[in-house]
Amino acid sequence: MTDNNNNNVLWDDFMLVDDFFDDDDDLPFQKANNSNGNGNESSQEDLPLTPSSLSPNQERALSILLLISAMLSALGSASIVYKVLRDKRQLSKPYHRTMLALSISDVIASLTFGLYPFLMPSETRIWSFGNHTSCNTLGFFTQFSFGAIGYNCILSFYYLLAIKFNIKRQTFSQRYERPMHFLNLSFFLITASVGAGYQFYGPVDVGMGCWVNNWPDGCHLTGDCVSQKIAIVFAGIPVSFFFVAIVVNNLVVYRHTRTIFNSLEKVYSLQEQQQKQKQEESSYTTSASSQQPQGSLTAKEAIAARKIQVRSEMYEGRLQEVALQASMYVGSFLVCYTPALSTRLIETFSYQYDDAKIYWLLVITAMTLPLQGFFNMFIYNRPHYVRVRKARPDMPMVKAICCSVVECKSFSAAVFPERTKSSATGDNKGPHDKKAKPRFSAVGRGSLDVVIEEESQVSDEHENDGNDCSEKPTDATPRLDNTTTDNDSTISHADDNDEGGEDTSSNDAPILHSPKGTAPAAVIDMTGTVSNSRQFGASGEIGFQQVNE
């Protein structure tokens, strides 16, 4: 009797344990039997889908962080989309078109990430109420969201071609931009559609989300899963290329800007040496009749050299701002996607999937992965913020940021007080006419100043009112024009005005030549070497020369 009672108790205990498992689940002793001969658990293909090992509070924390970050990113990207679409002139510029495409892709990605905690299969997460169909839909949008990484790569190539190789805006649009858009969109749209059609997508083993996993269905029992091979084709190869290209492009741009800065320093020292030599030569003259013209000539040359140096410093500052803007986009990309990439690498190469062991990494991923649109909003509006802070240093930082992002009325009042006063009195005419706009740009072959203009994101009217010298250039007003001579044909930057773009040249402004009787102007070629040349705008060079007509 005692043995029978003990057997009944054991059987009752077993039934209590069995209540916690479905018919398809492995019991604890069955999992032990399914382990390898060495006592280790089997790989992903041999294990069934199991719920997360995180506690309910950890699950809730991850879901809340992911949702908040996704909402912030979606709002930030939507603001960029709005600012670009409301001004048709912005759509004529490749920088703004690329940012528009990147922001739209980021809105889709952010909404997808925000739905992860809810649309995954109901048995996997604490707040999930989805099924296989909703998970397959999430997988489609997750795959398509990789296009946002592709647009980060396109943006890095834009900066590389514009700064390093001086590709014109129109040339970039025709030769590079369209193929890049087509390849990026078509690849991820086709792969996302194929994955949804063949139902490649399932809950990921590490973290939250649905993507390529455990295909074909039930392959974890037979051991013939091909999910990893599909994942390598769908995202492994292209995303690896994007990461490497973005980092390398940014390093090349940084090195090139450093070369330009070093070359400018050599120009300054060369000008100082020339001035000292001329002063020493003039000291040896004894004739009173010859001292006066030589002294006046030296003074004119000193003034001209000072003007050139000022404009060179302006160019150096603008170049530094553009390079900094490009680096900030790259930094935002790396901060957002590096933790997520680390999570996927752990999922690919690990044989034990325990979310609790890498909970800190999952928290960082939930905070940063959807957040790029939020960062891009501040980077995109940074030129506005800089102008507000320069015009109104007493304005609180938070207010200046808000004004630069939403462009409130105080933005124009802070940056352009004269314009606000003139518009209030109705006096909008005079020297501040839109067409009377001097240009101070580097002589070069390409669109570096185009990049600078596009980064400023300021219309012709705003940019006109912000200039200290707003009078129409005359023969006595020297300027630096972006004009080069290539194969005996003059290429003016005015050719860059495609589809309503800003005009960066003035037909009635004098083109800068080295005046007769003066020392040849210093020229910086794109390799960073300094030479003396009376030629204006030799091919592939950035020169700083003066007009004295």
pLDDT tens by residue, 419-470:
555 555 555 444 444 444 444 333 333 444 444 444 444 334 444 443 333 3
- Return the top range by mean pLDDT from 4-13, 151-160, 278-287, 306-315: 151-160
Residue 315's pLDDT is what? 78
Residue 406's pLDDT is what? 79
Angle (nearest 5°) at CA 386 between 385 and 392: 85
In this predicted model, what pLDDT tens digit does every residue of 80-96 receive, in sequence order?
999 999 988 899 999 99
More confident residue, 26 or 277: 277
Closest CA to 51 of 330, 356, 375: 356
Closest CA to 431 of 476, 483, 405, 467: 467
More confident residue, 116 or 384: 116
What is the mean predicted confidence (pLDDT) over 134-158? 97
Instruction: Write out the two tokens for 504.
Output: 């960066």
Instruction: Write out the two tokens for 59.
Output: 């699950």
From its phi and psi, is residue 510 left (phi > 0), alpha (psi between -120 and 50) or beta?
beta
Burial status of residue 125 (CB atoms within 10 A of its CB: 0-12, 13-18, 19 or more) = buried
- Spatial separation of the C-alpha atoms in residues 363 and 461, rounded to whole Å: 46
- Spatial separation of the C-alpha atoms in residues 206 and 52, rounded to whole Å: 9
User: Where is 186: in which H helix or E strand?
Assistant: helix 178-197
**Which of the four CATH numbers 1.10.150.120, 1.10.510.10, 1.20.1070.10, 3.90.700.10 does domain 56-263+324-380 have?**
1.20.1070.10
Task: Name, in order, each residue with C-beta under 8 angstroms of 285's C-beta and a sequence gap of 6 or more.
Answer: 291, 294
Residue 155's pLDDT is what? 97
The whole-chain average pLDDT of the chain stands at 72
CB 419 within 8 Å of CB 425: no
Angle (nearest 5°) at CA 480 between 436 and 442: 120
Provide the residue ranges of all domains of the chain, joining segments of one domain with +: 56-263+324-380
What is the mean predicted confidence (pLDDT) over 140-150? 97
Residue 413's pLDDT is what? 60
Is the full-model pTM beyond 0.75?
no
In this predicted model, what pLDDT tens digit does every residue of 523-543 receive, in sequence order?
444 434 444 433 333 333 333
What is the mean predicted confidence (pLDDT) over 30-35? 39
Residue 484's pLDDT is what? 38
More confident residue, 46 or 419: 419
Residue 217's pLDDT is what? 82
Task: Name, in order, each residue with C-beta under 8 angstroms of 518's C-beta and a sequence gap of 6 or more.
Answer: 301, 304, 546, 548
Please give the torsion angle defined by the CA atoms of residues 426, 427, 428 and 431, in that order, rounded to the nearest 10 degrees.
Answer: 180
Residue 94's pLDDT is what? 94
- Spatial separation of the C-alpha atoms in residues 11 and 22, rounded to whole Å: 18
Residue 24's pLDDT is what? 46
From its phi and psi, is residue 540 left (phi > 0), alpha (psi between -120 and 50) or beta?
left
Residue 44's pLDDT is what? 37
